[in-house]
């Protein structure tokens, strides 16, 4: 006889599997009447819950769960490529889900991955501040969890990220070295401005500029429309210029923002790079073929995915998990192309390394 599972209960009651899971585990928003119906049905059909934490510690499966905010961008597609490569080499398969920056959906997906008894989870957190206590609770229960691309301050999970402070510093140093005086930093849409990678890229750039007696203006921080990133940057830069703002250099916090910023500058009558230098971040595949070819920070995205798997496998193999998480930072490189106006015709990385004592962690 086939053992009843949460799918059986969901089918009996005509509700979602995620709702059944929340009711059984007393987590999330479930009415008391629904919770009671679920528990009564579970007893009637003979449901016996999986002992998730015990199975995770015993490593009874060879599947890694991955929850990203999305995979439509080259950023996460490249990370996923590294995850799949490293997992395959270790004999693991990968289960992928996407939260689309919705923390409620993210929690449902994590719970469903755990119901499938994944050995551990690689996560790009949808809302680090809102979900910090939830992540901490998972780790306390024995769930092996590694953050990738972003980290969550105060949560003892491992993380793998680009050294975003260093990347921003390289950009600021480069623009100052080009003699630019009026630098604008194009930030991202409102929900993402709180993320650590955004704050670190801005802080790194501002530190380098301050060392040269310069400062930067943040463009887009008061712009609240939720738009695709190129369109967001286009409208933010366009509005900034229409209000009398002036720039001779733009640091866009990712390449998608840089594409939109360049088009806004062109439409406003500025030449790139003659009038305004533009630098992006991430070195997406399109950036080399955009015109002008985009100067940007290369993030070694596949390596982020590979290192995330390695950290997770170490956690899975460990008999006891360390109390504090490890934070692995992958060093970025500045790739000098046409959009900044530097006198370089190559497309290979132009290494600019600050002294360690000059760069505030």
Residues with Cβ within 8 Å of 47's Cβ and at least 6 positions away in sequence, in order, are 4, 5, 6, 8, 9, 41
**Residues 228, 340 share a domain:** yes
**Residues 82, 61 share a domain:** yes
SS (H, E, C) 292-358: CCCEEEECCHHHHHHHHHHHHHHHHHCCCCCCCCCEEEECCEEECCCCCCCCCCCCCEECCCCCHHH
Least confident window among 96-100, 173-177, 242-246, 317-321: 317-321
**Residues 338, 223 share a domain:** yes
Least confident window among 48-52, 109-113, 227-231, 233-237: 48-52
Tell me, what's the pLDDT at 343?
55
| 198 or 351, which is more confident | 198
**Residues 344, 202 share a domain:** yes
Residue 124 lies in a domain: yes
Mean pLDDT of 244-251: 97
CB of 230 closer than 8 Å to CB of 259: yes
Residue 1 lies in a domain: no
**Cα 326 from chain centroid (whole Å):** 17
The residue to which tokens 């943040």 are assigned: 218
Count Cβ neighbours within 10 Å for each residue of 283-322 and write b for 16 or more, e otherwise. bbeebeebebebbbbbbbbbbbbbbbbbbbbebbeeeebe
Residue 62 lies in a domain: yes
Q: What three-state secondary structure class fits 31?
A: coil
| 206 or 140, which is more confident | 206
β-bridge mates for residue 148, sequence order: 160
Tell me, what's the pLDDT at 346?
37
CB of 185 closer than 8 Å to CB of 220: no
Residue 107 predicted with pLDDT over 70: yes
Q: What is the CATH number of the domain that holds 324?
A: 3.40.50.2300
Residue 291 lies in a domain: yes
What's the longest Cα–Cα distance across the chain?
A: 76
**Residues 241, 183 share a domain:** yes
Residue 354 predicted with pLDDT over 80: no
CB of 78 closer than 8 Å to CB of 89: no
β-bridge mates for residue 303, sequence order: none
pLDDT digits (tens, 9 = 90+) for 41-58: 888 887 766 544 444 444
Residue 38 lies in a domain: yes
DSSP state of 90: T
**Residues 317, 354 share a domain:** no
Tell me, what's the pLDDT at 242?
96
Residue 262 lies in a domain: yes
pLDDT digits (tens, 9 = 90+) for 1-41: 455 777 788 888 988 877 887 788 776 678 888 888 988 88
Q: How far is it, in rounded angstroms, from Cα 212 to Cα 249?
A: 15
From start to end of 42-175, where are the E strands?
63-68, 93-98, 120-123, 145-148, 158-162
| 46 or 279, which is more confident | 279
**Residues 65, 30 share a domain:** no
**Residues 109, 29 share a domain:** no
pLDDT digits (tens, 9 = 90+) for 110-128: 989 998 889 999 999 988 8
**Residues 283, 187 share a domain:** yes
Question: What integer best gives the mean pLDDT of the chain?
Answer: 86
Tokens of 34: 């629904």
Residue 344 predicted with pLDDT over 50: no
**Residues 216, 339 share a domain:** yes
Residue 195 lies in a domain: yes
pLDDT digits (tens, 9 = 90+) for 133-155: 889 888 888 899 999 998 888 88
Domain carrying residue 224: 164-299+333-358
Domain tally for the chain?
A: 3
């Amino acid at each position: 006889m086939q053992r009843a599972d949460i799918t059986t209960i969901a089918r009996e009651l005509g509700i979602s599997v995620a709702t059944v899971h929340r009711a059984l585990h007393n987590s999330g928003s479930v009415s008391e009447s629904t919770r009671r119906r679920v528990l009564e049905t579970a007893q009637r059909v003979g449901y016996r819950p999986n002992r998730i934490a015990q199975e995770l510690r015993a490593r009874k499966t060879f599947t890694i769960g991955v929850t990203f905010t999305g995979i439509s961008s080259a950023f996460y597609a490249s990370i996923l490529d590294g995850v799949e490569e490293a997992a395959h080499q270790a004999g693991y398969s990968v289960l992928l889900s996407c939260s689309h920056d919705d923390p409620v959906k993210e929690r449902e997906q994590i719970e469903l991955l755990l119901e499938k008894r994944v050995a551990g989870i690689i996560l790009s957190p949808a809302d680090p501040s809102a979900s910090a206590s939830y992540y901490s609770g998972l780790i306390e229960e024995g769930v092996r969890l590694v953050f990738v691309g972003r980290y969550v301050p105060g949560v003892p999970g491992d993380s793998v990220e680009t050294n975003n402070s260093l990347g921003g510093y390289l950009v600021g140093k480069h623009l100052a070295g080009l003699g630019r005086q009026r630098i604008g930093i194009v930030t991202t849409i409102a929900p993402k401005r709180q993320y650590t990678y955004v704050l670190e890229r801005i802080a790194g750039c501002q530190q380098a500029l301050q060392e040269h007696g310069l400062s930067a203006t943040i463009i887009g921080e008061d712009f609240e429309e939720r738009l695709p990133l190129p369109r967001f940057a286009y409208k933010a830069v366009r509005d900034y210029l229409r209000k009398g703002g002036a720039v001779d250099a733009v640091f866009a916090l990712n390449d998608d923002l840089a594409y939109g910023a360049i088009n806004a500058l062109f439409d406003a009558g500025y030449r790139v790079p003659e009038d305004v230098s533009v630098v992006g971040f991430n070195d997406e595949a399109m950036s080399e073929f955009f015109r002008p070819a985009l100067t940007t920070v290369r993030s070694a995205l596949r390596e982020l995915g590979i290192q995330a798997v390695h950290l997770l496998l170490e956690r899975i193999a460990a008999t006891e998990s360390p109390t504090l998480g490890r934070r692995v930072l992958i060093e970025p490189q500045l790739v000098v192309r046409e959009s900044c106006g530097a006198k370089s015709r190559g497309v290979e990385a132009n290494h600019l390394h600050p002294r360690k004592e000059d760069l505030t962690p």
